[in-house]
Amino acid sequence: IIGTPLFEKATINLESGKQFNITAKNVSDINKYIEYVYLNGKKLDRTYLMHEEIMNGGALEFHMTDNPAVWGSREGQEPKTEIKDHIILPSPYIEKGDITFRAQTEVVLNTSEKNAKIYYALDENDFKLYEAPFTITEDANVKLYSEKGELKSPVLTTPFYKIDPNLSITLESEYANQYSAGGNDALIDGIRSTKNYRTGSWQGYHNRDLVATVDLGSQKVISTVNVNFLQDQGAWIFYPTEVQCFVSKDNKNFKALKTHKIDASKRDSELEIKTVEFKIPKTEYRYVKIIAKKLGELPEWHLGYPMDGRSWIFADEISIR
């Protein structure tokens, strides 16, 4: 794409031994407008070059002026990029619908391709034409694809998770807005995160302890409690130094389980997920409290230490069996 030249002359020495010479007559801070352009002695009526025109060698000559010119402003002279071979059809997308929900969620589908038909299926491959929003009341895998003429898009699958309506969580510490993982219920939504925190499924806490209490809705026999943490030290994400678990029948009197201590400041370049598990002699409880202690100040070996950096805790699913 051609713009105002910066130099009076420039030469591209090609591997073939040829040269492509560019000259700009009268170019200056004042003469910054292109009056007309010659390519190999012929007037150029477009604002772009083809790759082979440069590779063949030759000369591109600019004539500059101090007045805005009409060169390149006519229709058809502008550059354009288009693909004519191997045309693909974009997949449809979910315009509305909560990936995690309690009672039900309404799902609205859409596509960026005009006049394309959308087909969807729930769990099975029994696809049907999408004509109106539909409601999901249980865990489901929504499969989508679109058709237009002879073209068919790839099939995409999006999982939807139903949270036990009796299950709730109270967060006593505030997560970072940019790492909310979907909000307050992220730690009990059933979604398992990967090692890539950028996917947005981890809940992040900067320079603060994580304190969360899960209410099962009624007393139930509990055998194990699991909670996941991410380590990505290059991104200032460290394991907590210790993780505590407390259980209670009334949300007032809590019993402490064995504390898990972690050497969080140990240098480790690996991206890892640590699952901390607490075992309980099958007893009925209603409330489970998790406290994860921050590392806080970064270790001296860390690049963020001279900047008085503070660590992050990234937590995921609290699983209670």
Could you read off the pLDDT of 42-95 as tens digits, one per residue? 999 999 999 999 999 999 999 999 998 888 888 888 888 877 777 889 999 999
- Tens of pLDDT, residues 25-47: 999 999 999 999 999 999 999 99
Output DSSP code: residue 206.
E
Whether residue 271 is predicted with pLDDT greater than 80 in this model: the reply is yes
What are the tens digits of pLDDT across the range 176-235? 999 998 888 899 988 888 888 888 889 999 999 999 999 999 999 999 999 999 999 999
Evaluate whether 135 touches 105 at the Cβ level (below 8 Å). yes
Is residue 163 within 8 Å of residue 317, measured between CB atoms? Answer: no
Is CATH 1.10.150 the right assignment for the domain spanning 93-162? Answer: no
Which pLDDT band, with edges at 50, 70 and 90, does 314 fall under? very high
Measured distance CA(11)–CA(33) in Å, rounded: 21
Q: Look at strands 19-25 and 58-65 and give their pairing.
A: parallel
Cβ neighbours around 108 below 10 Å, total: 13
Mean pLDDT of 272-288: 94
The two structure tokens encoding residue 234: 């290059």
- What residue ranges do the domains of the chain occupy? 9-65, 93-162, 168-320
Q: In CATH, what is the architecture of 168-320? A: Sandwich (2.60)
Q: What is the pLDDT of residues 45-58, one digit of tens each?
A: 999 999 999 999 99
| Of residues 102 and 309, more confidently modeled | 309
